[in-house]
């Protein structure tokens, strides 16, 4: 007993006489040994830096600036070391909880709407796909947003499948009429003169008249009109506006005007590029050389053949890809392989992950002839159902999960993906997973 007391006394004397770094080191390593791990569809996390206030911050002082938000160069590590890196945990809560919700939109059209809860802040990126989507989005947000206020709204570009829900119509109250909004960030240019884009801008300007701040992506990059490239949402969580050339010049393709954002929670990153096409994606990579590896990438342009290209994918090496679309809709193409999500998209993404999830799907189709005399599966907007449903990404200080309100089935394992059609006298699968694609349990 005396020996034990003597040992304890010597330890106490040592700790009280040593410098603070040693105490911190011992304390930190003791805590790290008791870190927890909780798995979901995909589970991992990483340690992070933090900021403590919830005010708007300039990118020059933010840890999420384009020159510093990358925790490491993804090209310097193989896939096994990446998995090891992102699975490490912080022993203390250095950032607030985060959830990202890829929403179903109440119809069989392709469209984007992503609701984000960061600490006590509410953010909405886009509100497609039609005016009648507005009450569906509103009802969903109301389950999380208790003060009827969206701190940030981002309208990526001027197509109806991204902005119609902000407007609504006589029968469906729009998002701008249902919530207060602190800040609206949207496109610097547009080509379209559509009525829905004009209605959106009228509703937006009405909010500004009542005190809402409005910035274009160009304002953010130039830091004009009070804008910034980075906005602190909560402890350790920032919303970063990423640069690309079509904030400063027009593109013949409306999609390239998309506002691109990187949501960063410590070393966990989440990328949203709207409907950015190949040329825009190349510019995004060129203007953001420190673009990091991402936990989640919202599949570009609903999984089209013209987005989610190698130049971007090889830089961000996504762990999870979430696609906002109605799988199999013939809304944009009468060619089976080009209906969202396209075979070309699948072929490119499969190199990096098989954790691909889709909100909705067409559940019924009939074969029709296209202009080339080829048969294709034709659908109607009323014949849709959930694929994964509302896809919810939850990221806390020691846990990362992805779940669908309908199921957690990967795209490659869904009934739709593996269904067989007889077209032009041949039996074909709706989609195929490439033989060299990633396959995990």
pLDDT at 337 (0 to 100): 83
Low-confidence ranges of the chain (pLDDT < 50): 1-91
pLDDT of residue 380: 67
Cβ–Cβ contacts within 10 Å for residue 47, how many? Answer: 18
Query: What integer pLDDT is reported at residue 364 of this predicted model?
Result: 65
Query: What domains are defined for the chain?
Result: 98-429 (3.60.15.10)
Q: Specify the pLDDT at position 407.
A: 98
For 412-422, the pLDDT digits (tens) are 999 999 998 87
d(CA 227, CA 242): 13
Q: What distance in Å separates the CA atoms of residue 205 and residue 39, rounded to the nearest whole number?
A: 44
Q: How many helices (H) and strands (E) does the chain have?
A: 12, 20
Q: How many CB atoms lie within 10 A of CB 369?
A: 12
Q: Using alpha carbons only, give the angle 249, 252, 253 rounded to the nearest 5 degrees.
A: 105
Amino acid 372: pLDDT = 74
pTM of the model: 0.79
Q: What is the pLDDT of residue 329?
A: 87
Give me the pLDDT at residue 20, please: 40
Closest CA to 259 of 270, 269, 249, 244: 244
- CA separation for the pair 94, 216 (Å, rounded): 31
């Amino acid at each position: 007993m005396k020996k034990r007391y003597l040992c304890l006394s010597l330890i106490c004397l040592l700790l009280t006489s040593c410098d603070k770094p040693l105490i911190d080191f011992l304390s930190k390593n003791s805590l790290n040994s008791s870190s927890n791990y909780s798995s979901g569809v995909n589970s991992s996390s990483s340690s992070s830096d933090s900021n403590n206030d919830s005010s708007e911050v300039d990118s020059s002082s933010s840890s999420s600036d384009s020159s510093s938000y990358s925790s490491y160069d993804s090209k310097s590590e193989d896939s096994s070391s990446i998995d090891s890196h992102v699975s490490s945990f912080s022993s203390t809560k250095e950032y607030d909880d985060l959830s990202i919700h890829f929403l179903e939109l109440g119809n069989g059209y392709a469209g984007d709407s992503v609701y984000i809860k960061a600490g006590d802040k509410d953010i909405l990126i886009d509100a497609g796909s039609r005016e009648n989507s507005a009450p569906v989005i509103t009802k969903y947000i109301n389950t999380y947003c208790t003060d009827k206020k969206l701190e940030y709204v981002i309208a990526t570009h001027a197509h109806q499948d991204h902005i119609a829900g902000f407007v609504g119509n006589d029968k469906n109250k729009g998002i701008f009429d249902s919530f207060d909004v602190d800040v609206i960030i949207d496109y610097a240019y547009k080509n379209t003169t559509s009525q829905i884009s004009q209605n959106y801008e009228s509703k937006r300007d009405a909010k500004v008249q009542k005190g809402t701040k409005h910035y274009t992506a160009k304002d953010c990059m130039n830091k004009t009109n009070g804008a910034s490239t980075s906005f602190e949402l909560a402890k350790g969580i920032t919303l970063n506006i990423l640069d690309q050339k079509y904030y400063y010049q027009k593109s013949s393709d409306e999609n390239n005007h998309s506002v691109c954002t990187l949501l960063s929670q410590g070393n966990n990153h989440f990328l949203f590029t709207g409907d950015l096409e190949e040329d825009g994606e190349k510019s995004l990579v060129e203007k953001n050389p420190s673009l990091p590896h991402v936990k989640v990438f919202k599949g570009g342009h609903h999984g089209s053949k013209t987005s989610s290209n190698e130049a971007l994918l090889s830089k961000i090496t996504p762990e999870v890809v979430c696609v906002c679309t109605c799988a199999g809709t013939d809304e944009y193409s009468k060619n089976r392989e080009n209906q969202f999500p396209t075979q070309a998209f699948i072929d490119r993404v499969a190199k990096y992950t098989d954790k691909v999830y889709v909100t909705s799907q067409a559940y019924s189709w009939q074969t029709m002839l296209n202009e080339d005399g080829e048969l294709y599966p034709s659908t109607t907007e009323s014949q849709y159902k959930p694929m994964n449903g509302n896809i919810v990404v939850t990221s806390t200080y020691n846990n990362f999960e992805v779940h669908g309100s309908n199921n957690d089935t990967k795209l490659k394992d869904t009934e739709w993906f593996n269904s067989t059609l007889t077209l032009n006298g041949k039996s074909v699968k709706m989609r195929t997973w490439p033989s060299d694609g990633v396959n995990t349990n």
